[in-house]
Every structure is written in structure tokens, then in C-alpha cells.
Structure 1
Amino acid sequence: MRDVPMYNPTHRFESGRESNPTDNPSVRWQQEFQDSVSEVAVWDDTVYVCLDGSGIVAINRDGTPRWRLETNTQMRSSPAVVDDTVYTGCEEPYFKDTGDYVYALATATGTEQWDFNTDAGVQSSPAVVDGTVYIGSNDNHVYALDATTGTLQWTFQTDSEVWSSPAVVDGTVYVGSNDGYIYALDAATGTREWAFEAGDRVNSSPTVMDGTVYVGSGPPIDGDGHLYALDATAGTKYWKFDTGGAVRSSPAVIDGTVYVGSNDGYVYAIDSESGTQRWAFMTDGEVLSSPVVVDGTVYAGSHDNHVYALDAASGSQRWSFETDGWVVSSPVVVDGTVYVGSNDNHLYALGNGVDTQYQSEQLAGCPACGSDLSALDDPTFCPDCGTGLDSEDGSTTEVYDQQGTNTRVYEGD
């Protein structure tokens, strides 16, 4: 069992250190960046933050910075961490010539171990299973890459972009495509085992539980969406649940209930066997965030700028936290702290009480970019722009560019 929660290759949330904060948690610390926070992952004592426009940042769980990889790209692929390596993808902005890559980075330093260049952006999140990285791309392909070297093992072509993140279970890769199909592929060869036609885009990432594939679909703008339950072996439909908007959120399946968000603004709880609704909680914005369920509480973000904590049995609200931007990233809950990013350019750590080390007077802002540094304890560099700051212990912090070479080394006095 992993020490810290992450989505495993079946996209079921698991951990040995999950616990909920009390009702109405406070901000233990927050970190501000120049770009919105698109994805957050936690592994051991490190929080990995993908920024929608500049790169990926590693932060200690006490809020102090570790390293930053500057890619100058849109990072919308949620990181996967396996064997001291971080795997993620990026998308080249239309106004920059930076390339579209899948990256493998050292967890300790952010040093690039390898990269793989795709022909279009990578929004899909990687699944790493048995030494292979499975990931989709906007070039319409699903890729299988050697996890150690990044060499191509196989590729499978669909008829549109693959934003969906693969789930790998019992030798089969399950993934959706914007061509309207959910595919089951042989994990060793990439050969198609079956394809189910959903009719609309499948941005949602499949969750596989007890021989059933749960996945959402829906149109890109307005229109009804659906959640499907499919036989994992044959691809036949067990049931379909209709919502009032596209289902781009990825389902969480716990104790016979499927939890999922929709663009109609609701978080739904659905019986996993029958497909009947158990409850629905209305927010004031689209719910693209994928729910996380911990100890009877469902956590999800919304375009109404809030993070919600809901009772898993009834759907009643336990608490909410308001940010100044959309909450698209999925919350991560570790040791009584909820980590979540927002389009207000902040990463928030919500928990039971403010960390005492942040109650003393801190450096107010970065002298170069002006970023708020008040939540950091004696930072050695600005995690937003990389500017070196004085450090009492003379520690050295390294920042890497997209080629993985050391571009800046900042030492304290």
C-alpha cells in the first residue's frame, strides 16, 4: 500500500495515510504562482504542482520549495510518481515554439531523465504499469513508452485527440478519445480488443472496478452528457446515466457508489450496479474536477471557485472553501490536509489549524516578480520566477529548464 494518496492505474484513490480535516478547515499555507494551477499530486513528503503556462514545481508538504522545471508550456497532465521518477506531459502554447513532450524527471531534483516528443500537446495523464508509461496525445494517438528510457513500444491511432487518461488493469489499457469511442487495448501490443461508441467526446478517464469500466462522455460545449458502465471484457453496456452536461470528470468508485462531476454543475452519487441516482449536489459552476472520497467524505472542485466537502452517504455539504478562480484540479487528501489548486494561481493546503512556523513574520514578496512569499519559511528562491533569495543556512537550490540542464544555482550568504 502506498504511503500517500495518488490515482493508481485503475484510477481508484488509495492510501495508507488518508484522514479528513475537521469541519471548516483553515488555510495552513498557500503558494502563489504566475500561472493557474492545473493539476496537483502528492507523493511521500512532496507536492507536485503543474502550472498552466510555465512548468512543474515540487514543494515540500510544509510549503517550502524544492525544485522547479521550466518548460514554458501548458502543463495539464497530472503527474504520476513511480520509483523516484515523476512522469507528466505538456502542451505547446500556440504562440511559443517549445514542443510537446512526455517527461520523466527525478523526484529529488527535477533533473530530466528522458523526454518523448509527440506531434501535438499532451493533456492526458500517464499510467505507469510494469515498466511501461501509457499516455494519450492531441495527435490522436495512445503511446506506450519504456519507463526507464522513454523509447516507443507501440502506438495506437484514434480519429481524434486523446485527452482521456489511460487505466491499465489485467493486461488491458482502457482509454477514451474525442472521436466518441472508449477503447480497450492489449497492454503488451496495443492491439484493439474492443471499442464502445459513446457518441460524444470521451474526455473523462475510465475507472475500472470489479470487471466494470466507468467512464463519462459529452459534447464540447452545450448538451447532455452521460456516464457509462461497461463490461471490461466485452465492452458491452450495463447501464447509462444521463446528466444535463458533459461528463469530463473522472469517476471515483467506492463501496458500491460512483461519484462523478458534470458540466451541469452537479456532483452525482450513482449506484454502481443499477446506475440509479442516490443523490446530487448542485454547485454554481461546471464540475470538471474529479471527486476524491476519503473516510466518508467526497471532495470536489467547481467552476464556481469553491472546493466542496460532501457527506458520501447523503450528499449534504460538510464545508466549502472559496478561492478567487475556477477549481479544476482534483483535491488530494493526506494526513488531515487537503491540497488543491485554483485558477487564481494558488495552491492551497487546507487543514486543522495554521502551521505555527508560518505565523511569524516572513518575507513579504519576491524582489523580482512580486510573488507573495509570506507563507514560506526562509525560502532560498522564488518558486514562481526562480530568483535567488538570501538563506541563513547557505543552502543551494537548483532550477532546471526543459532540457533538464541546470540553468540557475542560488546559494545563500
Structure 2
Amino acid sequence: MTVRFSQYMRLTLGAVAIALLTGCASKGEPVHTPKELTSFDETSTLETQWSTTVGDGLGRARYPIAPARDGDTLFAADAEGTVEAFNAESGERQWRVELESPVSSGLTATASELYMGTRNGEVLALNQQDGSVDWRARVSSEVLAAPQANQQLLIVQSSDGHVTALDLRTGEERWVYSSSLPRLTLRGTGTPLAIDPVTFVGFANGRLTTLDNRNGQPLWEQQVAIPSGRSEVDRLVDLTGQPVLTQDGRLFVTSYNGRVMALEATRGKVLWARDLSSRHTPVLVGDFLFVATDASHVVALDAESGREVWRNDTLEGRWITAPAFADGRLVFGDAEGYLHLVSAREGKIVGRTRVDSAGISLRPVTEGGTVHVQANNGRLETLVISP
């Protein structure tokens, strides 16, 4: 199979990759048939604290507009540009604005600002107090990854492989880094990880690059996933998650059709690697790295060695979200709108509820034992884990 289209067409036809990956077999069955939900020993419950609906949801393209929480305020948006702020505990709406631009990226809330990207290549900074636009900036193309901030810069990765650093306060462009992309990529981009001196960025060509935040120059690169196979789909090796950094300088990264890898953050030296395909950001808790694979297996790895500690395959084929962590449990949404709790210690399902049949594709937002989840149709629900 040969797929040919220009860089411009990649922006509008990016969903082709997902269609190919989730395409039907000869009898019309999905590649990964979702497992039926089975009974389990329920030791945790999810009780709804409040719920509402934000605009019209994520749109037909299911833009990854994940909510964000900063202190006691939860922010959420829809694909048409409705942005709302809520009291995270009570659900009381604090403000609502209708933007002129359609939102396409996840939200980032920090330093009294709310940052987001749009389909037409804009980046917006909204005042957290009232939703007013403090500045707008233009980048090279559509933004699907949530912009990431350090103390001075806002780092924006756009869908054409460019990484742009903007002044955090004014939106003024500081530098731009460009990478080459394969002809076919997954719908979506990696999410940068920005700290004060450097930014770690994963690309659709399977490479992880560390950029100097002073000028955008690469300091080191590492090939995380190597393309193999005959077809364009077989050769997809996108890094669409966000790297995870530890205080002692280890960096964890996932890849599609590739590996989960641990690296030394200063030089990019490989510490260990395991053959696991994942397009999701992992979560690190203590000595364990938790990964949601593309088959919707939940895998716990020893963060020091990469050894598999446990694996739960009972959600196979259910298109689970990236994992979140809440009070000793891993939290996942799935394509049928269920929210699942998995014991981080044992790997067993311990709780479940259904949020909305429209499905959940966004990683839940957690704070202690509180879980905020936004369904594809815009339903926003806050739940509390008990006990």
C-alpha cells in the first residue's frame, strides 16, 4: 500500500492513519475486538460530585481538548471555542467565553494564565480570573498538543513538525525548531516536556530530541522507535505521548510500534528498553512506570530495570485513555464511556462506573481522590473515589 499526500494534506487527512489502524477485517470486525466487561471484586466506588456539559464536545475529529486544573479551579473547552471555568469542588461556573477561534489542543493552566492552541495555528493566553484574552500568537500550523510552560517560555508543538518557543508573558516568538515528518503519521503530535534549561520533544519519525531553551538548538537526539515493515502503516513510529522526567534525571518515553524506553536525561544514554507499543503518556508512581498499550493492556514496569511487574488485559480492545493516578488507583476512560479503577499495587480492577455512552478519549484529571473526566460529547463530570 502506498499513501501519497503533501504536507498540507497531512493536516486535513491525519485521521486517515487512525482509520487505517482501526480499520475493519474482511468480516467487518475491528482489529482489536473489545473484550466484554466482566464482574470483579469491587473495593472502590466512584461517586458523582457534580456534572455539566461544556459546549458541543470534541467535535467529529475528537480533538484532544483535555481539561486542566489549577488550584481550586477546573478549566474545560469544546472544539468550537467555548471555554469555561468551574469551582473544582462545587462545580459552580465562574466564567464562560466564546472565542473566535476553534480550540484543538489540550489546556494548560499555570501562572494565572490558561493556554491553548487552535486549528488555524493560533496560540491563546486567557486570564484565569475572567477568561479575557491576554495575547494571541501565530505558529506554523494546527496545534494538537497542549502548550507547555517553564518560567520564561511557552513551548508549542504543531502538527507540521515545528516546535515554537513563545515568551510566556507576551507571546512573542523566541525561536523555532523544525523536524522532518514521514509521509504518513498518526493523528496527533507528541507533547513537549519543558523545564527551565531544556525541552524534550518526541516526533513522528520516532526520534526524541532535547532542545536548548536559549536558542532552540538540539543538544542530543535518540531514536526511540525504528520504522520496519513494508506498508506505510507498519512503519508508523510516532512519539505521541509526553516524556516523563524524574528528579534524579531519568527520562521515560513511549512510542507507537516501538518501545518504552528509559534514558539518561542529560546525554540521552539508553538505560533500558522494552518492546511495547503505546501512543499514550505513561505515569510514574514511586518505583513503577504504568503504561497503557495500544492493545489496551495496562502494564506496570519496574522503573529501574524495565522488568514487567504485572499486566492486566481485561480491557483489551476498549481503546482506553492514558492513565491517571488517584489515591492508589490508576484511572482510565474507554471508548464506551466507562471509567475504570485499577489497583496500582496489584493490577486488578477495583472500581467502575459509566460516565456517558458517547465515549471517553481524554485522560482524566485527578487531584487526590477526586477525578475530573470529560466525555467526547462535552459532558464534564467530577467524581470522588471511596474509600
Q: Please, what TM-score do these two structures have when normalized by structure 1? A: 0.72
1:18 maps to: none
2-side partners of 1:348 and 1:27: how far apart? 7
> Larger RCO: Structure 1 or Structure 2 (Cα < 8 Å, ≥ 6 residues apart)?
1
2-side partners of 1:173 and 1:338: how far apart? 29
2-side partners of 1:286 and 1:189: how far apart? 42
2:84 maps to: 57
Counterpart amino acid of residue 193 in structure 2? A
Counterpart amino acid of residue 84 in structure 2? V
Q: 1:252 aligns with which of 274, 283, 295?
A: 283
Alignment of 1:245-394 (within 5 A): 246-282=277-313, 283-285=315-317, 287=319, 289-322=321-354, 323-334=356-367, 336-351=369-384
1:393 maps to: none
Q: Is the 2:372–2:382 Cα contact (8 Å) retained in structure 1?
A: yes
1:195 maps to: 221
Q: Is the 2:112–2:127 Cα contact (8 Å) retained in structure 1?
A: yes
2-side partners of 1:68 and 1:51: how far apart? 12
2:202 maps to: 176
Q: 1:316 to 1:242 in 2, by over 3 A?
A: same
The alignment partner of 2:67 has SS state of strand
Q: Deviations over 1:372-413 (max 9, x none)?
A: xxxxxxxxxxxxxxxxxxxxxxxxxxxxxxxxxxxxxxxxxx
2:192 maps to: 166
Using the TM superposition, give the Cα deviation of residue 284 of structure 1 relative to its aligned residue in structure 2, in angstroms.
Answer: 4.2
1-side partners of 2:320 and 2:180: how far apart? 23
Using the TM superposition, give the Cα deviation of residue 111 of structure 1 relative to its aligned residue in structure 2, in angstroms.
Answer: 0.4
2-side partners of 1:41 and 1:53: how far apart? 18
Q: 1:134 aligns with which of 133, 144, 155?
A: 155
The alignment partner of 1:116 has SS state of strand
Q: 1:79 to 1:189 in 2, by over 3 A?
A: same
2:72 maps to: 45
Alignment of 1:54-93 (within 5 A): 54-61=81-88, 62-71=90-99, 74-91=102-119
Using the TM superposition, give the Cα deviation of residue 296 of structure 1 relative to its aligned residue in structure 2, in angstroms.
Answer: 1.8
The alignment partner of 1:139 has SS state of coil
Percent identity between the aligned chains?
Answer: 25
1:35 maps to: 56
The alignment partner of 2:254 has SS state of strand
2:36 maps to: none
Counterpart amino acid of residue 268 in structure 1? V
Q: Deviations over 1:167-203 (max 9, x none)?
A: 1246121011112211111121111011112231111
Q: 1:138 to 1:294 in 2, by over 3 A?
A: same
Using the TM superposition, give the Cα deviation of residue 67 of structure 1 relative to its aligned residue in structure 2, in angstroms.
Answer: 2.3
2-side partners of 1:34 and 1:123: how far apart? 19
Using the TM superposition, give the Cα deviation of residue 228 of structure 1 relative to its aligned residue in structure 2, in angstroms.
Answer: 1.4
Asked if residue 152 in structure 1 is aligned to residue 173 in structure 2, the reply is yes
Counterpart amino acid of residue 77 in structure 1? S
2-side partners of 1:280 and 1:344: how far apart? 31
2-side partners of 1:285 and 1:253: how far apart? 23
Q: 1:242 to 1:74 in 2, by over 3 A?
A: farther
Pairs aligned (count): 318
The alignment partner of 1:189 has SS state of coil
Q: 1:279 to 1:159 in 2, by over 3 A?
A: same
Q: Comparing both structures, which one devotes a greater share of its residues to strand?
A: 1
Using the TM superposition, give the Cα deviation of residue 30 of structure 1 relative to its aligned residue in structure 2, in angstroms.
Answer: 1.4
Counterpart amino acid of residue 143 in structure 1? T
Structure 1 residue ranges without an equivalent (≥5): 1-21, 92-98, 219-223, 354-413
Q: Is the 1:269–1:277 Cα contact (8 Å) retained in structure 2?
A: yes
Q: 1:133 to 1:186 in 2, by over 3 A?
A: same
Q: Is the 2:139–2:164 Cα contact (8 Å) retained in structure 1?
A: no
2-side partners of 1:247 and 1:52: how far apart? 25
Q: 1:32 to 1:285 in 2, by over 3 A?
A: farther
1-side partners of 2:303 and 2:252: how far apart? 9
1-side partners of 2:349 and 2:280: how far apart? 19
Using the TM superposition, give the Cα deviation of residue 72 of structure 1 relative to its aligned residue in structure 2, in angstroms.
Answer: 6.1
Q: Is the 1:252–1:259 Cα contact (8 Å) retained in structure 2?
A: yes
Structure 2 residue ranges without an equivalent (≥5): 1-42, 59-64, 227-236
Root-mean-square deviation (Å): 2.2
Using the TM superposition, give the Cα deviation of residue 274 of structure 1 relative to its aligned residue in structure 2, in angstroms.
Answer: 1.2
1-side partners of 2:101 and 2:347: how far apart? 38
Q: 1:287 to 1:183 in 2, by over 3 A?
A: farther
Q: Please, what TM-score do these two structures have when normalized by structure 2? A: 0.76
Using the TM superposition, give the Cα deviation of residue 287 of structure 1 relative to its aligned residue in structure 2, in angstroms.
Answer: 4.5
The alignment partner of 2:259 has SS state of strand
Using the TM superposition, give the Cα deviation of residue 337 of structure 1 relative to its aligned residue in structure 2, in angstroms.
Answer: 2.4
Q: Is the 2:326–2:367 Cα contact (8 Å) retained in structure 1?
A: no
Q: 1:179 to 1:342 in 2, by over 3 A?
A: same
Counterpart amino acid of residue 105 in structure 2? S
Counterpart amino acid of residue 171 in structure 1? P
